[in-house]
Amino acid sequence: MTPQTLLKRRATGAVLTTGIVALTAATAYVHLTLGGLLFLLNGLGYVGLIVLIVVAVVAPHPLIARFDWFPRLALIVYTATTIAGYLVIGPYFALGWITKGIEVALISLVMLDVMRTYGSPRAMIRWAVASIVDPRHSAHAPRRGGESPTEPAVAAVAADASEPA
């Protein structure tokens, strides 16, 4: 079995989503238990992102399918901002570095999910722009595992997957 075939399997998507939710919950827990307003807000942000990820996976509504790229992008940006904030502000202690390791692993899993679902980060960006610009775009939503229900979306994702990122 090739790596590309393995990534397209439904079970792989379930494992990736479970890993993303578990790592997000772990970093949310750490931030919620540290005390202080900044940590509390950061932890609540992660909890909100968990809700968005789970809704994007389990809710079959066309509007949700149209914007299913948003939780992934939001989680990547939020986590990267948290890491940058820690590196700039601190305080530097062992649990902080462990949490940053969890967050780097989280970004890696989300990027793997982006590759699995869209074929490339560039394809996800094109999908996001098209979902905002074209209200009929939900009809071409990529399904979990990278399969697409209509030919135009298949051709676009296939073309993007062959381009270097």
* pLDDT tens digits, 13-39: 899 999 999 999 999 999 999 989 999
Residue 12 has pLDDT above 90, yes or no: no
Residue 151 has pLDDT above 50, yes or no: no
Per-residue confidence band for 62, with pLDDT thresholds at 50, 70 and 90? confident
Report pTM: 0.78
**Mean pLDDT in residue range 41-70:** 92
CA distances for 138 relative to 21, 66, 115, 120, angstroms: 25, 4, 19, 19
To the nearest 5 percent, what fractions of the chain are helix, strand and coil?
A: 80, 0, 20
Distance between CA atoms of 118 and 158, rounded to whole angstroms?
9
**Mean pLDDT in residue range 45-73:** 92
Residue 153 has pLDDT above 60, yes or no: no
Per-residue confidence band for 85, with pLDDT thresholds at 50, 70 and 90? very high
pLDDT: which is higher, 45 or 1: 45
**Mean pLDDT in residue range 42-66:** 92
* pLDDT tens digits, 40-53: 999 999 999 999 99
| Structure confidence at residue 64 (pLDDT) | 87
Distance between CA atoms of 29 and 41, rounded to whole angstroms?
12
**Mean pLDDT in residue range 86-111:** 95
Q: What is the end-to-end Cα distance of the chain in Å, rounded?
A: 24
Residue 56 has pLDDT above 70, yes or no: yes
Output the average pLDDT for the chain: 83
Residue 159 has pLDDT above 50, yes or no: no
User: From its phi and psi, is residue 164 left (phi > 0), alpha (psi between -120 and 50) or beta?
Assistant: beta
